[in-house]
Amino acid sequence: MKVIGINGSPRKNGNTAKLINKVFEPLEAEGIETELIHIGGTLIRGCLSCYQCIKLKDKRCTTKNDQFNEIFEKIVAADALILGSPVYFADITPELKALIDRAGFIARVNGHLLRHKVGAGVVSLRRGGAIHAFDSINHLFQISSMFTVGSTYWNMGFGGREGSEVETDKEGMENMADLGRSMAFLLKKLHCCSNEQ
């Protein structure tokens, strides 16, 4: 089993990365493979609305001069997806939004490729706007027949500066660990008794 984490922050070792890595800990302890992919600060173009994916149905995006197709292939091959973002003006980063738009659309028009995968959104923030950003991520999961995983509080962690500030949010970090445990639990249940997709 494999879980892909996508970091929408341009900070590779920032608060969002720390949150996602905390979710990974219990997953890895259960023998579940993890991979963190950084997209923040890299080029992920927005959807061009060319609708070629509907026509071609080749599980790819016709925009080829960025890393989208390579990442999308990994998402489709994985069992679960963690989408993480810092809160930017009460929403997610543009790189993550672009990935969501294109992945969501291409998955739909190719026979619902995200169906029955497990998903969790994770957001880091200094002060406000977390729920709106969290909702933006969950929109993808909820329209894709995915199973979303929560925790004992919404999946957010407080921290502003780069470094280990988010790690001082003890409740937030414990929440991430709990999220990882629940995701491992669900993945094991899903894989023990069904081959149905």
Ligand X SMILES: Cc1cc2nc3c(=O)[nH]c(=O)nc-3n(C[C@H](O)[C@H](O)[C@H](O)COP(=O)(O)O)c2cc1C
The binding site for ligand X (CB under 6 A) comprises 9, 11, 14-16, 86-90, 124-129, 159-160, 162
CB of 103 to ligand X, least distance (A): 20
Phi, psi angle pair for 123, to nearest 5°: -130, 145
- Closer to ligand X by CB, 159 or 184: give it: 159
The H or E element spanning position 4 is strand 2-7
Please give the radius of gyration of the chain, using alpha carbons only, rounded to the nearest integer. 16
Considering beta carbons, is residue 20 or 53 the nearer one to ligand X?
20
Give the nearest residue (CB) to ligand X. Answer: 14
Minimal distance, residue 6 CB to ligand X, in Å: 12
* Smallest separation, CB 23 to ligand X (Å): 14
CB of 83 to ligand X, least distance (A): 13
Among 101, 95, 79, which residue's Cα sits nearest to residue 186? 79
Task: Rank residues 7 and 144 by Cβ distance to ligand X and give the closer one.
Answer: 7
Other CB atoms within 10 A of residue 110 CB? 16
Query: Of the two residues 124 and 182, which places its CB atom closer to ligand X in the complex?
Result: 124
Going through 87-130 in order, the beta strands assigned E by DSSP cover 118-125
- Residue 125 and residue 158 in contact, taking contact as beta carbons nearer than 8 Å: yes
